[in-house]
């Protein structure tokens, strides 16, 4: 299926590795021009070169997405280089492991900054360009903790459900505007990224392929997904459907 986004300009944050990189690869494979960003310049340049090998036009902008000025800076860099911005995939590193009753103010603030406010700021910066073009796709990478709180990841549960509440509200407002802009969440379960493997890997032996995940993101950003708006698409192989473990023990 041709996703109908060839020539569109996509910004993917936190994309030098893992799920963000997989999303950037899938969008590049569909013919998008891609802006990638992450903190470490060297790794980012390597990723940009890999993406460019498929013939995609790629711009790499090193930046810490948690810095409050970064979202505007990235949107400005994308529009200066490519003249437009059609697709935003908002991603950031996850918060540290912590049980709910161990959370202090600083931890809560950090998670909200990284896993909620970064997306809100990116959307705020990108929307004027999407409105002007009458077309836009926003996809926030979160976690299956949106639908199944994970006891050892209380900060993730907190920030990502907050983002979900905001994004769903915003999606309704965008629908009312009729500007052709959609906003969805994509909620990964365990996937074989370096970080997930470091943290212990699979849940009940399940482990997704980041490349498959990237294709789901690309579909949500496609022309054909125009009627998918305000959704939280869970990509977890059924883990959240089996809260007592696969087999229901």
Complex with ligand NAD: residue 59 or 181, whichever CB lies closer: 59
Please tell me whether residue 162 binds ligand NAD under the rule CB under 6 A.
Answer: no
Query: CB count, 10 Å around CB of 171?
Result: 20
65 bridge partner residues: none
Among 11, 19, 56, 59, indicate the residue that binds ligand NAD (CB under 6 A): 19
Please tell me whether residue 12 binds ligand NAD under the rule CB under 6 A.
Answer: no
Distance CA 159, CA 13 (A): 17
Query: CB count, 10 Å around CB of 15?
Result: 30
The stretch among 15-23, 124-132, 169-177, 222-230 that binds ligand NAD (CB under 6 A) is 15-23
* Listed residue (150, 179, 144) closest to 164, CA to CA: 144
Q: Within 165-204, which residues bind ligand NAD (CB under 6 A)?
A: 188, 190-191, 193-196
Distance CA 96, CA 98 (A): 6
Among 64, 162, 204, 246, indicate the residue that binds ligand NAD (CB under 6 A): 64
Among 26, 48, 61, 92, indicate the residue that binds ligand NAD (CB under 6 A): 92
As measured in angstroms, the least distance from the Cβ of 88 to ligand NAD is: 14
Q: What is the CA radius of gyration of the chain?
A: 17
Q: Is 191 helix (H, G, I), strand (E, B) or coil?
A: strand
As measured in angstroms, the least distance from the Cβ of 145 to ligand NAD is: 7
What character string, x for contact with ligand NAD (CB under 6 A) and - otherwise, covers 126-155?
Answer: ---------------x-x------------
Q: Is 169 helix (H, G, I), strand (E, B) or coil?
A: helix
Distance CA 165, CA 148 (A): 15
Complex with ligand NAD: residue 18 or 136, whichever CB lies closer: 18
Q: Within 106-125, which residues bind ligand NAD (CB under 6 A)?
A: none
Please tell me whether residue 48 binds ligand NAD under the rule CB under 6 A.
Answer: no
Distance CA 5, CA 179 (A): 17
Please tell me whether residue 14 binds ligand NAD under the rule CB under 6 A.
Answer: yes
* Listed residue (73, 153, 151, 152) closest to 111, CA to CA: 153
User: What is the token pair recorded at 236?
Assistant: 């977890």
Please tell me whether residue 39 binds ligand NAD under the rule CB under 6 A.
Answer: yes
Distance CA 32, CA 86 (A): 10
The residue ranges that bind ligand NAD (CB under 6 A) are 14-20, 38-40, 64-66, 91-94, 141, 143, 188, 190-191, 193-196
């Amino acid at each position: 299926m041709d996703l109908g986004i060839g020539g569109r300009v996509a910004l993917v944050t936190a994309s030098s590795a893992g799920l963000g990189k997989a999303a950037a690869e899938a969008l590049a494979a569909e013919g998008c021009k891609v802006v990638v960003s992450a903190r470490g310049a060297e790794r980012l340049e390597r990723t940009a070169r890999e993406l460019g090998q498929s013939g995609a036009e790629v711009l790499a902008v090193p930046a810490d997405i948690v810095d409050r000025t970064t979202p505007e800076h990235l949107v400005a860099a994308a529009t200066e280089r490519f003249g437009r911005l059609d697709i935003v995939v908002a991603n950031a590193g996850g918060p540290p492991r912590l049980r709910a009753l161990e959370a202090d103010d600083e931890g809560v603030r950090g998670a909200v900054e990284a896993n909620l406010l970064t997306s809100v700021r990116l959307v705020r910066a990108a929307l004027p360009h999407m409105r002007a073009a009458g077309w836009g796709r926003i996809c926030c990478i979160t976690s299956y903790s949106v639908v199944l709180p994970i006891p050892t990841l209380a900060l993730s549960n907190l920030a990502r459900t907050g983002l979900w509440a905001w994004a769903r509200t915003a999606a309704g407002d965008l629908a009312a505007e009729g500007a052709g802009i959609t906003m969805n969440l994509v909620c990964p379960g365990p996937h074989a990224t370096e970080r997930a493997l470091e943290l212990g890997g699979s849940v009940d032996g399940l482990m997704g392929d980041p490349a498959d995940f990237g294709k789901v993101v690309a579909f949500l950003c496609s022309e054909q997904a125009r009627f998918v708006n305000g959704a939280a698409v869970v990509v977890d192989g059924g883990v959240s459907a089996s809260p007592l473990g696969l087999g229901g023990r």
